[in-house]
Structure 1
Amino acid sequence: MTRAGRVVQVQFVLTAMLIYLAMAIDLPPWAIKAIDKIRRGFVWRGRKEAKGGHCLIAWPKVCRAKELGGLGISDLKSLCIALRVRWPWLKKSEPNKPWASLPLQVSKDAECLLSLAIITEIGDGANTLFWKDKWLAGKSIQDLAPNLYVLVPKGRARKHTVKTALDETKWTEDIQGEIPVQALMEYLELWDMLEDISVQEGIPDRHIWRLSASADRLARRGLPHPDHCLLCDQEEENIQHLLIGCVFARQFWYDILHSIGLAALAPQSDVSSFDDWWDKAVLTVSEDARKGLNSLIILGAWTIWKHRNDCVFNGATPRLSTALNLAREEALLWSLAGARGLSPIHSS
């Protein structure tokens, strides 16, 4: 069998064999590592094992999408998280399913993905968690009032719905212990925000999945999609155009890179591959600066994608200033979390 044939075999046979198992249980890291060893060995040698010298490309790069320079083989850890998210999503979006009342064990990674992916429009509030779900201006109270949230026991945060919490302001009973000044300020701001909120009896909550594929992928699946890129309205949208070919994206990269004195690395109109541009850009800086530049490029791509989704799902108008401000805010958060080389961005 040719190597190309083995790639197809790995993706559509070896990986597919795990689908139902991965939907039912969280595969432990040792199991994922062992399965990847078998998949890697079969791709490169057609055998159970392959040593480092036989592997032509690092496995994480093999697991990238083809549009990003990979072979399109599913990353097993990400696939497992996505499959496990199916259950809490169905429990929330279709609460009438027979098993919906049963307890679910959801990993922290799956919980984070679900929180990132879903926003809620309140109806009767019976199927929305007051503290954890994103129902208040597209954000969760956990995000809006983090200092106040830490005073709420985890058990109550996981059970208290919007409907029960707003009934005679019972959410105030969830707060335990002494309230520091910052938490008190958040408490007063939250009180003002909730003052005009009321539930609509008989109308179920509406949960919206915010993450979507690019327009070309939606088109291949016969799903609704925009005719043109929403950021430039000039060409059809695909992942390469969105991240590097769009005039909006190119100006964004220029402004971001200019803030750290690397404007010369901004992609030009003749560049067609985001992955190739990234590889070449990293090679032009010193080894000490590469981690910072890698973080910056990841952050920039994430910002463009978030701004695009804001335009798709929330009807926002594409604005370069909005995207740049979002990038600065994200850079600050990433820096606080330990990412290096981003301080010039959020301080500019």
Structure 2
Amino acid sequence: MPTSQGGLGVLNLDKFTRALRLRWLWHEWKDQTKPWVGLETPCDEIDRNLFAASTNITIGDGNTVRFWESAWIGGRRPKDLMPLVYTISKNRGKSLRQGKEDDAWVQDLKLDSQSSITVDLVEQLVALWEAVRNVHLDVGEPDQITWKFTNNGHYTASSAYHAQCCGVPSTNFNSLIWKAWAPGKCKFHAWLIIQNRVWTSDRLATRGWQNNGCCPLCRRETETALHLVATCRYTKRIWHLISAWVGYQQMDPTEWEEA
């Protein structure tokens, strides 16, 4: 995860490679002169779902917008809104213009022996019919696409990577740890303490491993990360001396406990 979201800032390779693969889908829109456009790209369904959720489409002539795969119905794809109709469609590679002309998308619908007409299928058919009827194509005006996660609307691998981290709460670790003046190993140790990932006696005990039990400094309380850095009487003495030295009273751990 990014450091602003509590992580170490080390790239998640799965998320990063997915962000890079979205470049193929972006160039299918922006540069159709590339020789591979129209061929199968190395993108899976998750890649395409992320791309659809990360972009806004403005319909022009309908030549670039995919009838089933592009999010042209209120920012959502027909294959997601009308999955039953999508299932019985036998030609899913048409553009919006090709599907709209002479209602070609209707001619592509074929029921097999295992399919049946249901109320849900009819409702989805009617909804798609109305959506297609309400679309107006502007001949001579190309379709446009914009990327949601950049100010200029252009795709970047960095924004595609961070888009996959959306929904994770932000932290103040950047100002609290990473931007502070200290050696890197001290910052990393502080991060481990906040995450409660240092091998103190309480964590060792939960795994049934040998441990000291009590704090080796005060010999009174169980050794925990919080106890070692704030509540131990020896630690408090050190913080009092440092706070007196630098003239910064908020370093008093007693005030931390009250807060």
Task: Name the TM tier (shorter chain).
Answer: 0.5 to 0.7
Contact 1:130/1:162 (CA < 8 Å) preserved in 2? yes
Instruction: Give the Å deviation of 1:152.
Output: 1.9
Instruction: Give the Å deviation of 1:211.
Output: 3.1
Contact 1:125/1:199 (CA < 8 Å) preserved in 2? yes
- Whichever residue aligns with residue 114 of structure 1, its letter is F
Q: Could you say which residue in structure 1 is the equivalent of 2:107?
A: 173
Q: Could you say which residue in structure 2 is the equivalent of 1:59?
A: none
Q: Could you say which residue in structure 2 is the equivalent of 1:183?
A: 121
- Whichever residue aligns with residue 148 of structure 1, its letter is V
Per-residue deviation, residues 229-274 of structure 1 (Å, max 9, x unmatched): xxxxxxxxx9559xxxxxxxxxxxxxxxxxxxxxxxxxxxxxxxxx
Aligned pairs (5 A) from 1:275-314: none
- Whichever residue aligns with residue 72 of structure 2, its letter is W
Q: Could you say which residue in structure 2 is the equivalent of 1:93?
A: 30
The higher-RCO structure (CA 8 Å, 6+ apart) is 2
- Partner residue of 2:95 out of 134, 154, 161: 161
SS of 1:195's partner is helix
- In 1, the alpha carbon distance for the partners of 2:44 and 2:131 equals 31
Q: Could you say which residue in structure 2 is the equivalent of 1:202?
A: 140
Aligned pairs (5 A) from 1:228-307: 239=170
How many matched pairs?
158
Contact 1:148/1:186 (CA < 8 Å) preserved in 2? yes
Q: Say which structure is richer in helix.
A: 1
Rg bigger for which structure?
2
- Partner residue of 2:40 out of 103, 115, 119: 103
- In 2, the alpha carbon distance for the partners of 1:92 and 1:106 equals 15
Per-residue deviation, residues 162-201 of structure 1 (Å, max 9, x unmatched): 0100101111112220432211111112212222322111
- Whichever residue aligns with residue 200 of structure 1, its letter is D
Change (3 A) 1:109 1:188: closer
Gap regions ≥5 residues in structure 1: 1-63, 222-237, 242-278, 281-348
- Whichever residue aligns with residue 175 of structure 1, its letter is L
Q: CA RMSD in A?
A: 3.1
- The alignment-based identity, stated in percent, is 25
Per-residue deviation, residues 275-331 of structure 1 (Å, max 9, x unmatched): xxxx89xxxxxxxxxxxxxxxxxxxxxxxxxxxxxxxxxxxxxxxxxxxxxxxxxxx
Gap regions ≥5 residues in structure 2: 160-168, 173-194, 197-259
- In 2, the alpha carbon distance for the partners of 1:188 and 1:132 equals 19
1:140 matched to 2:77: yes
- Whichever residue aligns with residue 103 of structure 2, its letter is T
- Whichever residue aligns with residue 94 of structure 1, its letter is D
- Partner residue of 1:78 out of 5, 15, 26: 15
SS of 2:72's partner is strand
Change (3 A) 1:150 1:79: same
Q: Could you say which residue in structure 2 is the equivalent of 1:152?
A: 89
SS of 1:119's partner is strand
- In 2, the alpha carbon distance for the partners of 1:134 and 1:145 equals 12
1:66 matched to 2:3: yes
Q: Could you say which residue in structure 2 is the equivalent of 1:113?
A: 50
Instruction: Give the Å deviation of 1:83.
Output: 0.7
Change (3 A) 1:113 1:196: closer
Question: What TM-score comes out, normalization by structure 1 length?
Answer: 0.41
